[in-house]
Amino acid sequence: MTNHWIDLKNTDCAMIIGSNAAENHPMSFKWLTKAKEEKGAKIVNVDPRFTRTSSKSDIYAPIRSGTDIAFIGGMIKWVLDDMTANPGNYNMDYVKQYTNAALIINDSYKGPDDASHPGLFEGYTPSTTSAPGNLGSYNKTTWGYANTTTPNVDTTLENPNCVFQLLKAHYSIYTTDKVSQITGCLTSKLEEVYRTYAATGNKGKAGTILYAMGTTQHTYGTQNIRSYAILQLLLANMGIAGGGINALRGESNVQGSTDMCLLSHILPGYLKVPNETDTDIDAYLGRVEPATVTPAGLDGDKSANWWGNGHYKQYMVSLLKAFYGDNATTPEFGFNYLPKADSKTNYTHIGLFEKLNEGTTIKGMMCWGQNPAVAGPDCGGERNALEKLDWLMCIDLWETETAAFWKRPGANPASIDTEVFLLPAAASFEKEGSISNSGRWVQWRYKAIDPPGDARPDLRVMDELMLKLKEKYSGQTAHNADAINKLAWNYHISGEYADHADPNVVAKEVNGYNMSTGVPLTSFGNLKDDGTTCSGNWIYCGMFDADDNNKAKRHDPVDRSINQIGLYSDWTWCWPINRRIIYNRASVDLNGVPWDKGQPVIWWEYDGPSTKWAGDIPDGGWAPINVAAAGSKYLPFIMKPEGVAHIWGFGRTDGPVPEAYEPWESPMEETIRGVLKAKGGEGFNDPCCYVGKLEKDGESQNEHGSFSDFPCVGTTYRVTEHWQSGPMTRNLPWLVELMPDVFVELGEDLASEKGINRGDKVKVTTARGSIEAVAVVTRRLHRMTIGLNGTQRQIDHVGILWHWGYIGLSKGDSANILTPHVGDANTTIPEYKTFLCKIEKA
């Protein structure tokens, strides 16, 4: 979240898209309900299903699963058109001065509207290999600014090559008629949503977008979010109270695990993972550190470029000091102890399982609080892949389907050679440590009770494992042994933690301290690139004060901030440096005066003893653009090389601006540009998406299904009563009582056509497999009419819960038997949310 949970109460309009917030984030509705009650805020919900969230929304817009970009693209067009007609209704200063709308793009850029490559951006090459991977890739050289170091600017936004005009051209085809034909949403409803949400473009109004897995888990998930970003920037909703783009994290500590490098492409603090080209730390920094770009002609004349200007090295060296301690010596600081990723290898979940299935490189797996046998895409194939392992270690509260894969229905345990270790883990109440919530708040939790039996906290398991590895590797001198032998690992202190790792010690190391004095550092501004400081995660630096107090343990339930917008700045601590709303320099005008004086985030104090920022922690302490001296008029988006936000996002692999493509399995014959499937083959639905390969005995387990065989649009999701792949809830009688069986939801039209009654057993089939479930026949889903250029198709959605598996108190089929092994072009996040299926009475 750019903002935080409580800040939802400041919004004038919340658009919940790709999220069932009421279901999966019940507390969000505490604050949304307040916004409704106290501010008369509107809630707009966009979803294929009428959900519990829809039930509390003022406007519900049903769309076909996977058509977010068409839906938002239509809104972007609507806003751009309205901006021309009624510029007074929008914050044009924000758009011109704080985003790259006015920057001039390379004039050889050609978009998908160009006749030479309809539907594609400039520079596309299809993949020619049969190996799993992206269907194609782009040469992105023409996508950037015409002048890459000091881009020219046209603040009238009239230059045909400025971002604003290119955006207009790109989305000119996204009329409400076309959007309606793609999304299946009535034009009247589209217009109602567009009008309602666009009203937050007014100065002093705030609109927030809440999204979750319904947005991300598509082959163009990244571009879905990009479309929200563009919209929010056009409406000047970033950085303000009640605004922002708010990713609702699917687990209580997903934010924390992402911060701590759960993902394969980053190190803690979002530092990039070194690859084989990074022969030393300078080569690495040369590759990853962005050069500063200074737009020429904006009122702001200085870009902070926070990732550049030497900061990267400070953070990286401090991280290496935290990893390797005294072994991190100049000049490399142990950089080469880090494993280097192979830039050709996909290390994401999908990539790992495909490698695992090949059976040659991956021999063992540690499955830590993960249950891919239920949660993995195309999990039937992934279960088979597990058989290739020599050993599997599962750490969980309960025996999971993954731990029990060798005795799954249909498997022959005698023919599976995998040795499985199941380590019982302590639950959150049985251990001490921090979690970071969606709002980036690092909240300390204390142990309430001892874990039962042999169950142990994850940290303790990791600690014991590492110490054992160190013991085994001691004396070895091979390079790969250094990664373990050189590691600084000393987290035992005294008392309760005399014999195993103390999370408080870990927390202090994550925060960072002076290597010689041991005094905690109070801001990442104090991190050094000379090895005198350490910090396990630079964005967490400042969590401790200089007196060793962990601010994540603060619990002041009173909002003492002077702006009284619910910052609760003394309740725990939030990264970065307790800044509760990030990008907040964009919440004020060039003079430092808040756009919204009713709920200011920060403001420049002109009166009083000294002129300074007041309110939340500002994004940099420099004076406002109109106050600062020439040459130090800092632009607001300090993490961007050019200091302004990206309406034009040329860093993505699949286009600088989102284009409405189709899911890998789609009921549509063509895209918005009129490009037929026949021309580009199935893969043309989304030219860069990742298509995986899972074979068993030479037979594909990741088959593609066609609309003629599978005429329904399937989608998967959770309910509030269950949690993820289910071990933590399907074993609890109170929760099983509420949701005892796996069910599928379908509309009344489809049900009556198939003779399916409420409560019947039904079978849902895709090209990958089939499952049985109970039918929930409901009027909350309805038959939609879609089809471009006069073609018309009736489509029905089938919604499937994915919590179930073959182990536990409540058992049932796993929805992911049905999902494909395909993923997002940028991140390879699996496509869980749209596929083609058929349904029949079981």
Give the C-alpha separation, 224 to 76, whole Å: 13
The three-class DSSP label of residue 187 is helix
Q: Report the residue number, 56 or 470, with the smaller CB distance to other proteins.
A: 56
CB of 191 to other proteins, least distance (A): 13
State the CB neighbour count (10 A cutoff) for residue 343.
10
**CB 822 → other proteins: shortest distance, Å?**
29
Beta-carbon contacts of 93 under 8 Å, excluding residues fewer than 6 positions away, are 589, 590
Closer by beta carbon to other proteins, 60 or else 145: 60
Q: How far is the CB of 817 from other proteins (least distance, A)?
A: 19
Min. distance of Cβ 54 from other proteins in angstroms? 7
CA distance 540 to 510: 7
Smaller CB separation from other proteins, 22 or 552: 22
The CB-of-3 to other proteins minimum distance in angstroms stands at 19
Whole-angstrom distance, CA of residue 263 vs CA of residue 273: 10
> Positive or negative CA dihedral for 554, 555, 559, 560?
negative
Measured CA to CA, the distance from residue 645 to residue 839 in angstroms comes to: 45
Question: What are the distances in angstroms from CA 194 to CA 51, 59, 675?
Answer: 21, 11, 26
CB nearer to other proteins: pick between 174 and 804: 804
Of residues 282 and 737, the one with the C-beta less far from other proteins: 737
- Residue closer to other proteins (CB basis): 526 or 794: 794
- Report CA-CA distances (Å) from 465 to 461, 484, 504, 529: 6, 11, 19, 31
Between 132 and 726, CB nearer to other proteins: 726
Q: Which is nearer to other proteins, 579 or 780 (CB)?
A: 780
Distance CA 179, CA 591 (A): 40
Shortest separation between residue 176's beta carbon and other proteins, angstroms: 16
Report how far Cα 144 is from the mean position of its chain's Cα atoms.
Answer: 24
Which CB sits closer to other proteins, 184 or 351?
A: 184
Closest distance to other proteins from the beta carbon of 760 (Å): 7
Question: CA Rg, the chain, in Å?
Answer: 27
Q: How far is the CB of 408 from other proteins (least distance, A)?
A: 23
Q: Say which amino acid occupies 518.
A: G
What DSSP string describes 752-765?
HHHT--TT-EEEEE
Least CB distance to other proteins at residue 439 (A): 16
From the CB of 61, what's the least distance to other proteins, in Å?
9
In terms of Cα–Cα distance, which of 85, 104, 82, 87 is closest to 160?
104
In this complex, which beta carbon is closest to other proteins, that of residue 249 or of residue 311? Answer: 249
Identify which of 685, 694, 710 has the alpha carbon closest to the alpha carbon of residue 220: 685
Helix, strand, or coil (residue 832): coil
- Order the strands of the 13-17 sheet from edge to edge: 59-61, 42-46, 13-17, 207-211, 245-247
Q: Which helix (H) or strand (E) holds 419?
A: strand 419-424
Residue type, 124: Y
Closest distance to other proteins from the beta carbon of 743 (Å): 5
The least CB distance from residue 204 to other proteins, in Å, is: 22
* CB closer to other proteins out of 52 and 349: 52
Backbone angles phi, psi at 302, to 5 degrees: -140, 130
The residue among 52 and 355 lying less far from other proteins, judged by its C-beta, is 52
Q: How far is the CB of 734 from other proteins (least distance, A)?
A: 5
Footprint on this chain of other proteins (rule: CB under 8 A): 22-23, 26-27, 29-30, 33-34, 37, 50, 52-56, 60, 62, 189, 719-721, 733-743, 757-760, 774-783
Task: Name which of 712, 720, 666, 667 is nearest 831 in CA terms.
Answer: 666
Buried b (16+ CB within 10 A) or exposed e, 316-338: bbbbbbbbbbebbeeeebbbbbb
CB of residue 55 to other proteins, shortest distance in Å: 4
Closest CA to 300 of 717, 593, 586: 586
Q: Which residues contact 256 (CB under 8 A, 6 or more apart)?
A: 434, 435, 436, 442
Least Å from the CB of residue 182 to other proteins = 18
Q: Which is nearer to other proteins, 21 or 462 (CB)?
A: 21
d(CA 393, CA 23) in angstroms, rounded, equals 32
Q: What per-residue string of b and e applies to 45-72 under the rule 16 or more CB within 10 Å gives b?
A: bbbbbbbbbbebbebbbbbbbbbbbbbb
| CB of 581 or CB of 777, closer to other proteins | 777
Between CA 522 and CA 49 the distance in angstroms is: 47
Cα gap 350→768, rounded to integer Å: 16
Q: Which is nearer to other proteins, 53 or 202 (CB)?
A: 53
